[in-house]
Amino acid sequence: MSHEFPIRVYYEDTDLAGIVYYANYLKFIERARSEWVRSLGVDQLALKRDAGLVFAVRRVEADYLRPAHFDDELVVKTDLVSFGGARLVLEQGVWRAGERLFGATVTLVCLTEAGGPARLPAELRRRLVPTIQ
């Protein structure tokens, strides 16, 4: 089941041609990932404070399919594809009125605050199982 996060394109998101600047799609999907994690009941600040764990993007494979424009209403859809001991793979897409504009496969890793790999907490793994597509 996709997590959906609505976004409106503001003037600051666009370039001189009035289309969304390519790097801003990465910001859009980052916001959506944060909301997806929150929707799972995970408090990332508490996870860092209590367990010393953080998430980091390891890899992004992105496809820019069609431009979005100033004032467009978009939806970012996030789906969990797989997860392992220390990583998550997500499919994310940016949509406008049923048309896919942008797609990305994002690999996240769980790290200690010092930057070393860490296993996903058992409670998080339990929450992920029902969301896998």
Active site residues: 15
3-state secondary structure labels for all residues of the chain: CCEEEEEECCHHHECCCCEECHHHHHHHHHHHHHHHHHHCCCCHHHHHHHHCEEEEEEEEEEEECCCCECCCEEEEEEEEEEECCCEEEEEEEEEECCEEEEEEEEEEEEEECCCCECCCCHHHHHHHHHHEC
Which fold is adopted by the domain 3-131? Thiol Ester Dehydrase; Chain A (3.10.129)
Q: What is the mean pLDDT of each run of 10 residues along the chain (133 residues)?
A: 95 96 98 96 93 96 98 98 96 98 98 94 88 77
Domain boundaries in the chain?
3-131
pTM of the full predicted structure?
0.93
Q: For residues 60 and 18, is the Cβ–Cβ distance under 8 A? A: no
- What pLDDT does residue 133 have? 67
